[in-house]
A = this chain, B = another copy of it.
């Protein structure tokens, strides 16, 4: 294929996700009749909750197929604000309903960053975040993190890596790929420093509904200066609906709404109506039931992986991922992932999808699959790794 003669510098720099190549190869193998256990998934294996589906159907019957206001249906903004419940009082004026968390993150970066402005984030981290920052020609300031801080940024990191052009710091709690949290006190410390430097903190809470052991308040409880990104994709099981929301400092609401109007017009209308049902208390028992299933899977997978020779240095508190050191089986997780797929029929994601820091030593295991499948996957991996020449 010809290399395009006209293209931006960012285009070739945006790496394909390894996981997509793995998924493609897994499908090829499946088409050849091979059975593959999927432990690379980035979305819940459940369909959307029945109440959400029913609300989508009702909205269709009612003919809700036109645009909504750019910042979303007022009742959904109000319900999203109320979802902070005991954590914090959030005014609906601070909420914008976005086309997925991706859309929310684009908006925050658009309102904060000029070309060349710095945005700090942890390595490893969710790769789309740095690629979205590249759209705005931002200076992406990756900070290597390890198990000593639960793979999270600390105030110490932020101070040590601060640069004159840093205007934003992005953290995710729980994190993808590590499932680890930032302690609220640490987060408050980070925010205090960031604000003192005339910059802003962005907290990705798209996995916040999936924290298993403890009650951790939202960053909304810490400060009204924090941008918080959330999504109906993971806890609410609505990935394909492309719907999320943003909590912002109130003084940004008008500018961000204008940006949204120009960038997206509005989030998908049906998805907004369905999301209302996701936040309805009638849906909560089903969401909690699913959360409990994820918790049980983690309860199985964590010791099973350790038993298979993988090292998990920080116990994951949330999301549906386990980030494990695989150096017992070599120093190249890309190669290991390929072998696990080709030889053992198990699809997992190499650390290289999430950054550069020590990434070749790590693999991300997803437990967005049934317990049966996870057990089968572990058996296959153990069998392959114990017997390979």
Which residues from chain A sit less than 8 Å from chain B, CB to CB?
1-12, 14-17, 20, 43, 47-48, 52-53, 56-57, 60, 63-68, 70, 99-100, 102-103, 106, 110-117, 127-128, 131-132, 135-137, 167-168, 198-200, 237-242, 249-252, 254-255, 258-259, 261-271
Q: Which residues of B contact A116 (CB under 8 A)?
A: 115
B251 and A1 contacting across the interface, CB-CB below 8 Å: yes
In the bound assembly, the distance between CA atoms of A384 and B2 in angstroms comes to: 61
A240 and B4 within 8 A (CB): no
Beyond the given A14-B262, A128-B263, A131-B263, please list 15 additional residue pairs across the A-B interface where CB-CB is below 8 A.
A1-B251, A2-B251, A4-B251, A6-B198, A7-B252, A20-B70, A47-B63, A47-B66, A56-B60, A67-B240, A99-B242, A102-B264, A103-B264, A241-B268, A270-B270
**What chain B residues lie within 8 Å of A70 (beta carbons)?**
20
Contact of A200 with B6 in the complex, beta carbons under 8 Å:
yes
Chain B CB within 10 A, most for which of A52, A198, A240, A266: A240
Complex alpha-carbon distance, A242 and B269, angstroms: 8
Ranked nearest first, the 6 interchain pairs of A and B with the lowest CB-CB distance are A240-B269, A131-B262, A48-B65, A115-B137, A115-B115, A47-B63
Nearest-neighbor residue (CB-CB) of A55 within chain B: B60
Pair A3/B167 contact, Cβ less than 8 Å: no
Beta-carbon contact of B265 and A66 below 8 Å: no
| A102 / chain B contacts, CB cutoff of 8 Å | 262-265
